[in-house]
Chain A
Amino acid sequence: MISEDFASLLAAAQSGSEPAFSRLWRDANPPLLRYLRVIAPGAEEDIAAETWVQVVRGLRSFRGDEQAWRAWLFTTARRRAIDLARHRSRRPESPLDDVAVAQLPRTVDSAEVALEHLSTAAAIALVSALPRLQAEVILLRVVAGLDTESVARLLHKSPGAVRVATHRGLRRLAQRTADAGVTL
């Protein structure tokens, strides 16, 4: 998070300052990729690039603080991910028989992750094993840094539903890590 420098950086970026925009990008792109790895595994790079293209287009007209900035960024990314999922469901590109086993999406076993000690990647894999809503709310709260209300708006849920999903996801995550003796 950029915090107190965000307003000046945003104003500079809106005026065409490349360093300012670079700072915004370097701050927001890593969590964006981590979020996309969970909701759109395998397409996070493309979706992130498309998201930034759209953000650049609307950068001048954006008004808001850092919370709103992140909410806008992740909302845009989520919409792109949904569009991509719909596109792929309509036009599957290849049958599963032609896909290598290593490329198949899979839910990583927590024990396997514990053995690998892959740090961030392992954490993302653990969160990906959670139910979709619980994984999303945890990522948006922890990775994107959004508050409950922002997450609720982004997911079109009530703040109460977001809180419930967050607690359930954390409980489940704690249980799994405790069961597996995960040490990251």
Chain B
Amino acid sequence: MPNIPHSPLQDGPAVTDADLAALLAGKEDVAPGLRPAADVLAALSAEPGPGELAGEARALAEFRRRAGAPAPRHRAHGTAGLSSRLSAKVAASAAAGAVVLGGAATAAYAGVLPAPIQRFAHDAIGAPNAPSAPHSPAPGKTVAPSGQLAPHGQPAASAKPHSPGRHSSRHGQGQQGTGQGQQGTGQGQPGTGQGQPGTGQGQQGNGQGSPPGQGQPGDGQGRPGNGQGSPPGRGQPGDGQGRPGNGQGNPHAEGEHGNPHPRWQQGNPHPHAEQVPYRARHARPARHAPAMDT
């Protein structure tokens, strides 16, 4: 005979599902064997004792705090939301305004604003003034703030531009030609190099040319400056007759060692190289050579 483990439940009262249902329902007519269990369940649902209602004040306080004043809470919430939205809008507007003003100020100091606005910025916040329209042969590209004239603009059409600073051309030349000469305002020392006849257009420079006659004869290969040109008009158009220009060459721009034969960076100062005399092209710089301005 198998040894089946003894279950303690088998010793209990025989109960059916109907008995259990009646027990759960709290009915009085439960099986006699379930009477103690019915008493336990009844005790579970007995009237509350004093200790079980002790927390009412605390719960009511919480209720008053959170739900007792619903309308003000909602109004306050709405007001807070409105304030938050307004604050966000004000902050966004202020940020946008700051960005616009900052950008405008930056553009004003960079000098890239349209002329009327730039002049206004100049008057208002001390930004650089707008260049006058007639003096801007290439707007946005050439500015001659100092208005200094290149010294060698005269008969030579192409006043050789001088680069500002260390790239001043040694032999900037006033070249003859038919182009429009432009004056430089750089600091290059003047040269009186031989202007070369030509028809090319001179380039702008911003080197300050000394008066003619001060410089050395250039060889006509002066490197073009890349700076800002002086107002046009000084470098007058040449007549294309091959007259030598008074070169603006700077043998020692700003005291640096110039390159007597710098490479061209812009333009061609010898648009008609075949017309350039050999002597003029290979003339060595002479510090105190007489001016050969014509």
Contact = CB atoms under 8 A, between A and B. Distances in A.
Interface of A: 13-16, 18, 21-22, 25-26, 29-31, 33-34, 45, 48-49, 52-53, 56-57, 59-60, 119-120, 122-124, 126-127, 138-139, 141-143, 166-167, 170-175, 177-179, 181-184
Nearest to B31: A174
Contacts of A22: 56, 60
A142 B67 contact: no
Interface stretch (B6-14, B190-198, B282-290): B6-14
A33 B48 CA distance: 10
Interface of B: 8-9, 11-13, 15, 17, 20, 23-24, 26, 33-34, 36-37, 39-46, 48-49, 52-53, 55-56, 58-60, 62-64, 66-70
Contact of B62 (A52, A123, A174, A178): A52
B36 A183 contact: yes
A121 to B, nearest CB: 9
A182 B53 contact: no
Contact of B40 (A31, A34, A57, A177): A177
Given A21-B63, A119-B46, A170-B24, A182 B15 contact: no
A174 B55 contact: no
B39 A166 contact: no
- Most chain A CB within 10 A, of B15, B36, B43, B62, is at B36
A52 B48 CA distance: 18
17 contacts: A15-B70, A18-B60, A21-B63, A22-B56, A25-B59, A31-B45, A33-B52, A49-B58, A49-B59, A52-B59, A119-B43, A123-B44, A142-B45, A167-B20, A177-B37, A178-B13, A182-B39
Contacts of B55: 29, 45, 48-49, 52
User: Interface residues of A: mostly helix, strand, loop or mixed?
Assistant: helix
B20 A166 contact: yes
Nearest to B33: A178
A29 B59 contact: yes
B51 to A, nearest CB: 8
Given A16-B70, A142-B41, A174 B15 contact: yes
Nearest to A53: B62
A26 B53 contact: yes
Contacts of B64: 18
B68 A16 contact: yes
B40 A141 contact: no
A123 B33 CA distance: 17
Given A119-B46, A177-B36, 9 more contacts: A18-B68, A29-B48, A45-B55, A126-B40, A170-B20, A171-B9, A171-B12, A172-B9, A181-B36
A115 to B, nearest CB: 14
Nearest to B40: A123
B130 to A, nearest CB: 65
Contacts of B20: 166-167, 170-171
Contacts of A53: 62
A161 to B, nearest CB: 15
B53 A143 contact: no
- Most chain A CB within 10 A, of B33, B40, B56, B68, is at B40
Given A16-B70, A18-B64, A48-B55, A142 B34 contact: no
Given A123-B43, A166-B24, A178-B12, A30 B17 contact: no
A56 B66 contact: yes
Contacts of B67: 13-14, 16, 21, 56, 59-60
Given A18-B68, A29-B52, A120-B43, A174 B60 contact: no
